[in-house]
Copies of this chain bind each other. A is one copy, B any other.
């Protein structure tokens, strides 16, 4: 592979962000901001986080950037820039590599994000690490520690779909809405537009659902020192999700991960406004529980029959 022609192929022809001063081509990039800057990094390794058996190169690029944008959304930040570090096995063709970048670019262009740097080295196994940056107005970063007793707990979209899509791909399983679930796995849509719409709301706790709500809800409970009660029947799932076994449904919707939806809490008086904002952003949203005062931070899951404690890993036991 000719490094020069590869860099030329992936280097942006033009930049979108008005705050960018210097893009790719010097020792580092330069930008200028009056907003607060939010930054995060996510690293994906072949055969650990993704496999070429279930993903095309385009999907891999798209999905790594989606994970980053989802982190920015969970902070209430507007995506602005990304830097890509890649380890590439020698056997990979330049075409396949360009497809990875095209996948990123497809998603980046929705948010006018600019690629402003990177590093490409050879290795045995494909590895992609993206550092993303975004902007948030002062005092509007959304922390996990912002939940308070009396808050509504909400989730966007539907949960467990990405995990269902992976299962369908792995077992070449036939089922209803097969393409839908596969798409949810390969091309997840981070909820950045909805998160940006929330800016008028003074207090929101947000966490993105990358590992499953059992994990994310516990992170909010710990950071805020509160108890989260989740009503199991209210956890949003797709219309045809019932076709999977009960065990699968339960595990996937609570611990499936990589749906890149948002879990949050807001004061009850803001709930109707949050629903309007979600509607404007074309983002389904649902109340799934409420926040209570507690001595011991934890997450409870309440079903018709019983109430149980939900641990980070999705394990439940009677409280």
Contact = CB atoms under 8 A, between A and B. Distances in A.
Given A28-B39, A32-B37, A41-B84, 19 more contacts: A26-B143, A26-B144, A27-B40, A28-B40, A28-B77, A29-B40, A30-B36, A30-B141, A33-B37, A41-B83, A44-B121, A48-B122, A83-B131, A85-B129, A87-B87, A119-B129, A124-B124, A124-B125, A125-B125
Interface stretch (A68-76, A99-107, A286-294): A68-76
Interface in A7-52: 21-22, 25-33, 36-45, 48-49
Contact of A39 (B42, B116, B119, B207): B116
B129 A40 contact: no
A297 interface: no
Nearest to A47: B123
Interface string A122-154: 111101010101001010010111000000000
A41 B124 contact: no
A118 interface: yes
A38 B29 contact: yes
Nearest to A83: B41
A165 interface: no
A208 interface: yes
A197 to B, nearest CB: 18
Contacts of A33: 33, 37
Given A119-B42, A121-B48, A27 B74 contact: yes
A117 interface: yes
Given A21-B141, A43-B85, A83-B41, A27 B121 contact: no
A52 to B, nearest CB: 16
Contact of A75 (B30, B43, B48, B129): B30
A124 B123 CA distance: 10
Contacts of A48: 121-123
A296 to B, nearest CB: 18
Residue of A30, A49, A87 contacting most chain B CB atoms (<10 Å): A30
A26 B83 contact: no
Residue of A25, A41, A124 contacting most chain B CB atoms (<10 Å): A41
Nearest to A134: B28
Nearest to A70: B27
Nearest to A144: B26
13 contacts: A21-B141, A25-B223, A27-B207, A28-B38, A30-B37, A30-B75, A30-B136, A33-B37, A41-B118, A43-B120, A43-B121, A85-B131, A123-B125
A74 B28 contact: yes
Contact of A36 (B31, B38, B206, B207): B31
A121 B127 CA distance: 10
Residue of A37, A77, A86, A145 contacting most chain B CB atoms (<10 Å): A37
A131 B41 contact: yes
